[in-house]
Structure 1
């Protein structure tokens, strides 16, 4: 199936107490949607502080995995060790755990209809925190093209729809890198879904891709079957910093993870950890 973005119209929305028909049709067509000002700047700073406390604790305790999922380490702009990808953060912060109970997340479940979705508090990687910094000792500056579907195959289950819900804690214009997607590719056939690009290896811009003008507190939602990547910032150090929390909204059989969970095979193989 050939995908074209010629009919793509970049729009942003506000999430109210229910999805509008326009919002549902926009997402069905493009596989992605952006909601402005989902949280306030004060709430974003609260979350940044909570995540910094978790990071400090994990570094002090020498934690390298949480519920079988490896953490990703690097160095901050002044050379200190930092964690650039944290998972299940909602299990280590009452504030973040309470945030996942925000009724607006439940509104997004309708985007998975006719499937029944749920917020992934104890499954997948829980509430993930991605912390991008572009500098020589950074281990997390970008992410190559991928879909989230191969993970289902590695886990021995059929590919099911899911949503990646991103809560953006920093203002990030497209000129500073960030999320890129190819709209409409959630409707591609199985071969294109799995082999349309070299998963995680290919970082090249695609003429069909679109970028986002992100303000602190914005929410992005994209279908996990959509081809997406994270573009490296052209800036370095503090100017390149981008912090995003991701919570998956998933379907299928309930499969919680615990401290005894084994590391999934795809994490052991992948050079770049998926979000």
Structure 2
């Protein structure tokens, strides 16, 4: 099957252009180039390493009720492959979420009022994908971000998932794949269109991008998407992506006393 690659020449300023709004409304996904400078990328990578070391030393296994995801690096050392609520524990990451360009993305949720979910859902998440024999996090099967709302007894509310990419991941090396336009699917297709997280198969309608270090991606929470496994191994396969949700609806902050949502017991078995 021939996989489709889309290019992007969009850049994010303090307001979105009509072209950007139209593109997102049609496809449910958009890529903005060079959102982060390489100095900032290096700063955030060092913060991630600092937090990982700290949390491993503390023996921490969850943050605000959300489990951390552990694996091993290429040397067989224990590693955290999914960190959450990171901006609550890092001044540079907290400042990043105050970047005014991020608030310009709220317009993509209009007429709903959007906000950055810094202490809601899983906060600022860091996914650290790497292909090693002992990695538990090399890919992620097809899913949308919406059923969490149903699990929590809420109706599905519009949301955006904003990805800040710290490593370059060219199209042929796997990475983010989406099925454009599926943000407008009906509830049956949203819930049953694919087997959540289990299905990693290629889809003739899916597209991907060349993603460069410093790029920012935005996708609608109702869009079918996955992370395709890298054909590379070891350090060459590493993809560090920070995700923060822009959400609508009732404010539901989490804290250290928050219970673990039961769907985490399910997803821990299928994120391979």
Q: Same fold (TM over 0.5)?
A: yes
| Structure with greater strand share of residues | 2
Shift of 1:10: 4.2
Give CA-to-partner distance per residue, 1:101-155, whole Å, 9 cap, x none: 0001100000000111100011000000000001110000000000111100000
Q: Does the 8 Å contact 1:267/1:273 carry over to 2?
A: no
Residue 77 of structure 2 corresponds to which residue in structure 1?
80
1:39-188 superposed matches below 5 A: 39-188=36-185
Report what 2:219 is aligned to.
Answer: 222
SS of 1:160's equivalent in the other structure is coil
Alpha carbon RMSD of aligned pairs, Å? 1.5
Distance 1:256 1:95 in 2: 21
CA offsets, 1:182-213, max 9 Å, x none? Answer: 00000001100110000111000101000110
Q: Equivalent residue of 1:78, what SS?
A: coil
Query: What TM-score do the two structures reach when normalised by structure 2?
Result: 0.96
How far apart are 1:11 and its partner, in Å? Answer: 3.0
Which structure 1 residue ranges, 5 or more long, are not aligned?
none
Across the two proteins, how many residue pairs are aligned to each other?
A: 269
1:64-90 Cα deviation digits (max 9, x unpaired): 000000000011111111000000000
Distance 1:63 1:9, change over 3 A: closer
